[in-house]
Structure 1
Amino acid sequence: MRILFLTQVLPYPLDAGPKVRAYYVLRHLASRHSVTLVSFVRPTDTRAAVEHLRSFCHEVHTVTMTRSALRNGWFFAKSLATGQPFIIERDWTTGMARQVRQLVGADGRFDAIHADQLWMAPYALWAQQVANGASPSLTLDQHNAVFMIPQRMADNERHMLKRAALTLEARKLRDYEIETCRRFDRVIWVTREDYDALQDQTPTNSSVPNSGVIPICGDPEGVAPVIRTPGGRRVTFVGGLHYPPNAQGILWFAKQVFPQVLAQQPDTVLTVIGKQPPPELADLPIPPSNLEVTGYVDDPQPYLAETGAFVVPLLAGGGMRVKIVEGWTWGMPMVSTTVGAEGIRVRPGENLLVADTPEAFAEATVCLLRNQAMADQLAQHGRAWVLEHYNWRTTYRQWDAIYP
């Protein structure tokens, strides 16, 4: 089968959840089919990353994504005028539309078009419209019920105007998401919870397509667990902080949870790993010896080796938090909020700890720092769990029912 695979982020290196999802789906499909990848790229994406993808794809084409505060302001105003969601207005570009049209212009070149995330759905629909003499099937891979992300952020936002803007975006995304899913031949969901959340928003006696639930998976067979130093004092967060729910979550932890941890474990170091950390972190009254904000790092393993507790303090988001799959793969003892662990098959108290209030989260974190045996047991059980349930080499065979 000839598949056109559309992505909003270049799916390599594997430094963000959406990249992990797209990369391993792409790897699986390319092992069985002829896959042409078309992806947006940012200035930080490298030629080496593109060449790596070319090593197993039939073709790889890239289109530059330009972002700026001024452009975002224009697209926000346009969104208000058109009623379209801001993120959809922002990510529609003539360059990508032109590239897609050029590729589908040849008669019958593609049998199927795969849109990775809602952002790329407009391009898949456009491709089907302009396909010359062909009618490729359309598949949408729904990483999230996207409307839930701004809605949950609005629920935790104190600034009145920001809350109103987020609520409006959530409402527009909900309507757009329902309509768009119905225009695809198949819709795959990362979690059942996301499907149910969108289905609950549909009018009575109508439904959103559900062609199956296939979780985000990693490659635990190919990654050895980190050998942790006994008595590690780092409390570590890993995640792209350009993603608003990650920034919101780590600020909540740093402001409301970590001071309670420090009161009981004064030598603990909050270690925040991820690009574009919020400047507000540096202004918090945490002693410099107890806070390390690294920014993006190519290899987090030196920090992970000194980690006593790996934290996932999310208050908003949708889909699956890949950092939990990664944490299990690395062999990390973890504490997560309920939202952070949402959509993932977990066994609280067996393969991670779950806490939702600042007091409970601090207590769980301190427990891991003080109880080496418990931390080791959680890490071992988590590693076994990810090998069984979130291994792309086995779980992604489910995609063969979508692309036979």
Structure 2
Amino acid sequence: MKDLLFLAHRAPFPPDRGDKIRSYHVLRHLARDWRVHLCAFAEQAAEEELPPELRAELASHHIVRRTKPMPVAGVQALVTDKPVSLTAFAHPGMTRAVADIRARHPIAATYIFSGQMAQYRGAEPTIMDMVDVDSAKFASLAQTAGPGMRSVLKREARLLGRYERYVAQSVAATLFVSEAEAALFRSGGGRGHVLAVENGIDAAHYDPAIVDPGEYDGPLIVFTGQMDYRPNIDAVTRFAEHILPLVRKACPAARFAIVGRAPTPAVRRLASDAVLVTGEVPDTRIWLARAAVCVAPLDLARGIQNKLLEAMAMARPIVASVAAAEGIDHGGTIAVAGDDPGFADHVIAALNGPVDNGAARARVLARYDWAARLAPLDRLLGKIAS
């Protein structure tokens, strides 16, 4: 086995949010054929201790606690004319950890997960997994931000976009989570070997046949996600304030469940007789199993939405915005809606229709198995590290 350095901006465990789901499965996939050395940042104490399955599979690991306050990162970014996305993840402890691994092991290739970690790349052949075009996300956020934040977000989009393009030309390959994201990067001037490696889904885990939904008051409309993430906050606010009232005119008993950790005060204020805010739950599959319909009314969505793959695997009826559904080869098993009335009509139809969406699960099984989705990595690494 050859040695591979894996750099991640967040510890790739537990796999309980979009980016960590991808990094966790990529890491374990690569560990089958490589001696993998992991260097990653932890944002909380629970992420500093590796789970047993990863400890057994990795050759070594260095988890560095990231504690730099964002105001400090912002000042450093202004002084150095760099994007905040880079200065926030510039850490002497990570620099030392990466240097130590390179000094101790003959690293044949490096896999970098997320652009923030590209500042730690070395001379060895490197795969840069951007996942999404982050600069485009900041540009989109700037369009609806207030005057003060708009200039900050536009600056971040401009500087980060320049950095993304620079990195793509200095590595062996740059990956994105969907062909739509790869095409967006190319259209913005991105060069080099740019390709899509899609996310998968652990369909054996997300299997409605093994999940007991327990007792609950229904019918439930369910949204899952990290609830301190701005696009998710905007999505559930839009649904609760503009779409749910339309739905409840036709289905008065319908309730909206917002399922996910770290709900902000703005999200908690949505709670009512018709809206349930759960906070962190031990197993989102239970709430998916309870759902009469799962919704994803996101105005800003990058790449492939794992929440939709999970709902598809659980055979739930699904209604999603155009932005959320983009990038998923759902074969018509997701109802795609534009405006709020159209979204409400699709939800009402789902509430009045069958609760099983077996075609969605069949689509996931045929299209989104992790081993098949990640197979291109084996061929790519075989070429660049030979």
Q: TM-score, normalised by structure 1?
A: 0.88
CA distance in structure 2 between the partners assigned to 1:329 and 1:233 by the alignment:
20
Counterpart selection for 1:337 from 321, 329, 332: 321
- The 5 A counterparts of 1:2-401 are 2-46=3-47, 49-66=50-67, 71-106=69-104, 109-124=106-121, 128=122, 135-157=123-145, 159-202=146-189, 207-225=190-208, 226=211, 232-284=218-270, 288-347=272-331, 350-372=332-354, 375-376=355-356, 379-401=357-379
CA distance in structure 1 between the partners assigned to 2:280 and 2:217 by the alignment:
25
Offset of residue 281 of structure 1? 2.7
- Sort the Cα spacing of 1:240 and 1:44 in 2 relative to 1 into closer, same or farther, 3 A: farther
CA distance in structure 1 between the partners assigned to 2:302 and 2:234 by the alignment:
14
- In the alignment, what sits opposite 1:403? 381
- Superimposed CA distance per residue, residues 201-256 of structure 1 (whole angstroms, 9 cap, x where no aligned partner): 22xxxx51235321011211444225779994111111112222222222222222
CA distance in structure 2 between the partners assigned to 1:73 and 1:331 by the alignment:
44
Offset of residue 74 of structure 1? 2.2
Offset of residue 283 of structure 1? 3.0
- Sort the Cα spacing of 1:393 and 1:363 in 2 relative to 1 into closer, same or farther, 3 A: same
- Secondary structure in 2 matching 1:301: helix
Report the aligned-residue RMSD.
Answer: 2.1
Offset of residue 118 of structure 1? 0.7
Q: Which runs of 5+ in 2 are unaligned?
A: none
Quick check: 1:152–1:317 contact (8 Å CA) kept in 2?
no
CA distance in structure 1 between the partners assigned to 2:129 and 2:327 by the alignment:
15
CA distance in structure 2 between the partners assigned to 1:47 and 1:90 by the alignment:
19
- Sort the Cα spacing of 1:380 and 1:399 in 2 relative to 1 into closer, same or farther, 3 A: same
Q: Which moved more, 1:228-237 or 1:356-365?
A: 228-237
Offset of residue 343 of structure 1? 1.6
- Secondary structure in 1 matching 2:107: coil
Corresponding letter in the other structure for 1:156: T
Quick check: 1:254–1:281 contact (8 Å CA) kept in 2?
no
Identity within the alignment, %: 25
Corresponding letter in the other structure for 1:189: F
Quick check: 1:221–1:387 contact (8 Å CA) kept in 2?
no
- Secondary structure in 2 matching 1:365: helix
Quick check: 2:235–2:297 contact (8 Å CA) kept in 1?
yes
CA distance in structure 1 between the partners assigned to 2:29 and 2:285 by the alignment:
27
CA distance in structure 2 between the partners assigned to 1:251 and 1:55 by the alignment:
42
Offset of residue 35 of structure 1? 0.9
- Sort the Cα spacing of 1:61 and 1:48 in 2 relative to 1 into closer, same or farther, 3 A: closer
Q: Which runs of 5+ in 1 are unaligned?
A: 129-134
